[in-house]
Every structure is written in structure tokens, then in C-alpha cells.
Structure 1
Amino acid sequence: MTIRAGVAGWPIAHSLSPVIHSAWIRAAGLDAAYTAYGPESDDQFRDLIGDLRQGTLCGLNVTAPYKEIALELAEEASPTARACGSANLLWQDGGVLRADSTDGHGLMAALMEQAPTLEMKGNIATVLGAGGAARAAVHALGEVFAEVRIINRTPARADALIAAVQPHTSARLACSDAVSDTALVVNALSVPPELDLTTLAPEAVLMDMTYRPLMTGFLQAGAERGHTVVDGLAMLIGQARPSFATLFGVAPPDVDVRAEALRVLGETP
């Protein structure tokens, strides 16, 4: 019987998750399918989760705007998902709907791959934004950095993020515009950030969580100034690895899914 899984969000046409997972499925020789689902409302998303509960699907990755609802619908959630306040992975396990968040894993995997010399322990990271993506980033970075700062146009949202995540991390979380001493800046906004790069130390690393385009204006400006930059595609692939293992019960094969994703993006590997 074909194992069926997929990714749910709206809009969903831009998602590269089917490209990545399908490449792994082919390489592993699995009788499986990974499909993009585009529920346009909360009710349609809940209907899709009904299919998951009935066994039509073995599991789903979840993207915006349904990550918070995914956590609410789960019967069991990992500590990471609870700390992030959202889930990007739902699956059936012995009749129990479980939830996890692999976004933080993807972020750290991207940093280790594309900025291997970044010193994290004892240093400061800065996150731009205070939405769901930022919360997952702050939680993950708080596991390794001494301090994580949040810059957001609405300070009240940054304060709310800190209040939600601080109990789950030993790092100091702060709302601050100071970046001269930060080792890492992560853009978790869906729009180009307004940040004066001249205030950054030369060794600061820049990361963007988006991947369309792969080299965003934020990353391009950083690269032109000599900063190490980390793209959102590396994070997407990083979060997909543990998702694939959970959904299909095998580790992702060692194939170059990045090259396949770059081809779809129209980028040169």
C-alpha cells in the first residue's frame, strides 16, 4: 500500500517540500507519495487532519498559516513544539496524533552547513521579527547562544515572544536594537528587513529564513560587505530530514536534494 504524506499550507504552490521529499522517496525506492495540500481556511485544514486521523495520510508537514492550529489539534506534542507554540509536523502513532517542530533543527543544520566557523557558545544572536518563525528561531538559538535579541517594529510583540519562550531556555532573551556585538543576525520577517549593515562586526553571519529568491536582498547586501551568509533553502532541507524519517520510517538517502531544489528555483547549483 502506498504511504501518503504531504505538506499543508496556504498559499502552497511555492513550496519546495514536495520536490525535496519526492527526491528522497525515489532514491529510497519507497512506495510512497508526498503531495502539497492547499486548504484555504482553518475549517478546510481541520478536514485534512480528519483524513490523517482516519489513516488516509500517515502524516503532514505544516506551514503557514496553520502551524499554531496543528499544535492545538495534536493529542501529544514534543517539548520543542510546545516551546515554539506551533508544530510543522503531524503524524499518527498508534492512534495518537503527535506534533513536533523541526524548524529549529533546520535552522541549526543550515548554520552548521554554511557557517561552520560561527562561534555560538557565549555569544549573542539577533532575530529580526516576532512572529511564529521568529519564535522557533529564538527557541533554537537560545539552546546554544548566551543571549538572543529580538528586533521588531512592534515592541509589544517582541515582549510577548520573550514571555512565551523565556521559560523554555536558559539564554537571556531581550528586546534590543543593538547589533554591533552580535555574532549572528537571522531574518525571520516575510519582507526585506530594515537594518544598517554598517553597524555589524565584519565577522557577523547573516541568515535569511526565506528562499525565494535564494539570495535575498538582505543576504546579497551582506555578502557584498564580506559577511558569511546562510540561505533559507539550507534550513528547509534541514527541517525536512527529521520530518522524512518520521513520516516514512527511514533516514533520508544521501542524494543531492539541494541541486534538485535549485533546478526548480531556476538557480545554478
Structure 2
Amino acid sequence: MTIRAGVAGWPIAHSLSPAIHGAWIRAAGLDADYTAFGPETETQFRDLVGQVRQGSLRGLNVTAPWKEVALALADEVSDTARACGSANLLWQDKGVLRADSTDGHGLMAALAEQAPALQGPGRVAVVLGAGGAARAAVHALGQVFAEVWIINRTPARAEALIAAVQPHTSARLTSSHAVSDAALIVNALSVPPEVDLTALSPGAVLMDMTYRPLMTGFLSAVSERGHTVVDGLAMLIGQARPSFATLFGLATPDIDVRAEALRVLGEPT
């Protein structure tokens, strides 16, 4: 019987997850299907999660704006998802709806791949934004960096993030002027960030979670100034690997899935 899984979010048409998981499914020779679902309302998302509970869907990756709702709907929550205050993976296990967050894993995998010289101990990381992906970033970075600072236009949302990741992660709200102290700046906003590039320390690494386009204006600007940059596609693939293992029960095949994703994006490989 065909294993059915997918990704849920709104908007969803831009998602590369079906291309990535589809490439692995074909390489593994699985009888499986991974679909982009577009629940626009919370009611529609809850109905989709109901299909996971009933077993007609093996599970779902979850993207904005449903990550926090996904966490609330689960019966059992991983320590990581609880610490993040959001979940990007839901699946049914012997009648139990489980939730996890693999975004932090993806972020750290991307940094290891594209900024291997970056060192966290004793240093500061700055996260721009306070949504579900930002929560996962703050939690993951807090395990490596001495401090994680959050810059967000709405202070109340940032304070909610800080409350969610406590006591697992030490984080605090800061102003946009604090980037000069950062060894790493991660853009978790869906819009171009407002950062004074002249204030960056010379060795600062910049990451953008967005992958359409692959080289965002933010990354292009800092790359031209000589900074190491990390793209959102590396993070997307990094978080997809443990998701695939959970949803389909085997490790990802050893193929160049980034090349397939770049082909779909229309980017040079």
C-alpha cells in the first residue's frame, strides 16, 4: 500500500519539500507519495491532522503558519519541540500523534556544511524574527553559543519566544544596533531584514532561512563585503533528512538531492 505523507502550510506552492522527498523516494524505490498540502485556515489544518490520526496519512512536515498549532495538537511531544515551542513534524505511532522539531537540526547541519570554521562557544548569535522557525533557531543555537539575542519588530512576540525556550536556552531581546557583537546572524524573517551591514564584525557569518531566491538580496549584499554566507536550501535539506527517516522508516539515499532542488529552483548546480 502506498505510504502517503506531505508538507502542510500556507502559502505552500513555493515549497521544495516535495521535490526533495520525491527524489529520495524514487532513489529508494519506495511505493510512497509526498504531497504539498495547502490548508489556508486552522480548521483545514486540523482536518488534515485528523487524517494522520486516522492513518490515511503517515505524517506531515509542518511549515508556517501552523507550527505552533501542530505542537498543541500532538499527544506526545519531543523534548526539542517542547523547548522550541513549535513543531515541524507530526506523525502517528501506534495510535499516538507525535510531534518533533527538526528545524534546529537542519540549521546546524547547514552551518556545518557551509560555514565549517564558525565557532560558537563564548560567542553571540543573533536571530532576526520570532516565528516558529526562529524559535527552533534560538533553541539550537543556544546549545552552542554563549548567548542568543533576538531582534524583532514586535517586542511582545519576541518575549513570547524567550518564554517558550526557557529554561532550556538563554535568550534575550535586543536592538538592531547589537549586530556588531554577533559571530552569526540568522534571518528568520519572510521579508528582507533591516541590518546595518557596516556594523558587522569582519568575520561574522550570515544565514538566511529563505531559499527563493537562493542568494537573497541580504546574502548577496554581505557576500560582496566578504562575509561567509549560508543559504536556506542547506537548512531545508538538513531538516528534511530526519523527517524522511521518521516518515518512511529508512535513512535518506545517498544522492545529490541539492542538485535536484536547484534544478527545480532554476538555479545553476
The TM-score with structure 1 as length reference comes to: 0.97
For residues 107-146 of structure 1, give each alpha carbon's deviation from its aligned partner in whole angstroms, at most 9, with x where no partner exists. Answer: 0000000000001111110111122221111111001000
The CA deviation at 1:203 is 0.7
- Could you tell me which runs of 5 or more consecutive residues in structure 1 were left unpaired when the two chains were aligned: none
After superposition, residues 58-207 of structure 1 pair within 5 angstroms as 58-169=58-169, 171-176=170-175, 177-207=177-207
For residues 207-243 of structure 1, give each alpha carbon's deviation from its aligned partner in whole angstroms, at most 9, with x where no partner exists. Answer: 0011011000100001000000000000000000000
8 Å contact kept, 1:138–1:148: yes
Which amino acid is 1:26 matched to? R
The CA deviation at 1:167 is 1.0
Partner of 1:52: 52
CA distance in 2, matches of 1:62, 1:204: 31
Which amino acid is 2:226 matched to? G
8 Å contact kept, 1:122–1:146: yes
Pick closer, same or farther for the CA change 1:39–1:154 going to 2, 3 Å.
Answer: closer
The CA deviation at 1:181 is 2.1
CA distance in 1, matches of 2:171, 2:77: 25
Report sequence identity in percent: 81
The CA deviation at 1:198 is 0.9
CA distance in 2, matches of 1:190, 1:132: 12
CA distance in 2, matches of 1:133, 1:87: 9
- Structure 1 residue ranges, 4+ long, deviating more than 4 angstroms after superposition: none
CA distance in 2, matches of 1:130, 1:109: 21
The CA deviation at 1:99 is 0.3
CA distance in 1, matches of 2:78, 2:195: 34
For residues 151-179 of structure 1, give each alpha carbon's deviation from its aligned partner in whole angstroms, at most 9, with x where no partner exists. Answer: 1122333233222213112x453424312
User: Is 1:4 matched with 2:42?
Assistant: no
User: Is 1:43 matched with 2:43?
Assistant: yes
Partner of 1:34: 34
Which amino acid is 2:41 matched to? S
Matched residue SS, 2:167: helix
Partner of 1:261: 261
CA distance in 1, matches of 2:226, 2:267: 22
CA distance in 2, matches of 1:129, 1:49: 27
8 Å contact kept, 2:150–2:171: no
8 Å contact kept, 2:88–2:102: yes
Q: Which range is displaced more, 103-112 or 172-181?
A: 172-181
Which amino acid is 1:252 matched to? T
CA distance in 2, matches of 1:72, 1:155: 23
Matched residue SS, 1:213: coil
8 Å contact kept, 1:158–1:175: no
CA distance in 2, matches of 1:188, 1:172: 15
The TM-score with structure 2 as length reference comes to: 0.97
CA distance in 2, matches of 1:155, 1:51: 37
CA distance in 2, matches of 1:39, 1:154: 26
Alignment: residue pair count? 268
Matched residue SS, 1:168: coil
The CA deviation at 1:263 is 0.6
